[in-house]
Amino acid sequence: MSRIGKRPVELPSGVEAKVSGQTIEVKGPKGTRSFHATDDVTLTVEDGAVTVTPRGKSKRARQQWGMSRSQVENLVTGVTTGFRKELEINGVGYRAQMQGNTLKLSLGYSHDVNFEVPEGVTVTAPKQTEVVVEGIDQQVVGQVAANIRAWRAPEPYKGKGIKYKDEYIFRKEGKKK
């Protein structure tokens, strides 16, 4: 039995869910998202909650049960509160600023890095050393944040680079004579 799959996903007020076949579409104050489930599970909407049940006892059906329920919960969370990743920039002269739909990063290279922000994601730079990525799709928000971080990942000696706000950088001691 899946502990995650057993629990129904509650729909808060202002959120609607429609199931047609294996596709569920969730509408909320921030937008509309949909998810296509595999044939191993059944999606139903009743009494203001979405329930996911497996269509058999096979291993694959049990795997898809918990995963599909988590995906539906992410849809509901995305259209109500959205997802957010915060990045910090550490290093002398390292900075970020928004110019239209482009994030301009100065990261110690001989040139500035221009990062084009994709559709469905909002990137802001409240300070020169902070970048905030927000959106309704958890996968896209995480991927955009990872792509920004990849331009200068934090190094273990001085901690310079772009890191997630809650990330811990394991520090190393330098060479000794």
pLDDT, average across residues 107-130: 94
pLDDT, average across residues 36-57: 92
129, 146 Cβ separation under 8 angstroms: no
Q: Give the percent of the chain with pLDDT over 70.
A: 99
Ordered by start, the domain boundaries in the chain are 3-80, 83-164
Structural domain 83-164, CATH architecture: Alpha-Beta Complex (3.90)
Taking the model in full, what pTM does it have? 0.88
For 135-150, the pLDDT digits (tens) are 999 999 999 999 999 9
**Tell me, what amino acid is at 118?**
P
The predicted pLDDT at position 1 comes to 63
**For the CA atoms of 155, 156, 162, 164, what is the dihedral angle to 10 degrees?**
150
Instruction: Identify the CATH assignment for 3-80 out of 3.90.930.12, 3.40.720.10, 3.30.565.10, 2.60.120.890.
Output: 3.90.930.12
Residue 2 in this model has a pLDDT that exceeds 80: no
Residue 97 in this model has a pLDDT that exceeds 70: yes
Residue 5 in this model has a pLDDT that exceeds 90: no
With left for phi above 0 and alpha for psi between -120 and 50, is residue 138 left, alpha or beta? alpha
Q: Comparing 3-80 with 83-164, is the CATH topology the same?
A: yes
Average pLDDT of the chain to the nearest whole number: 93
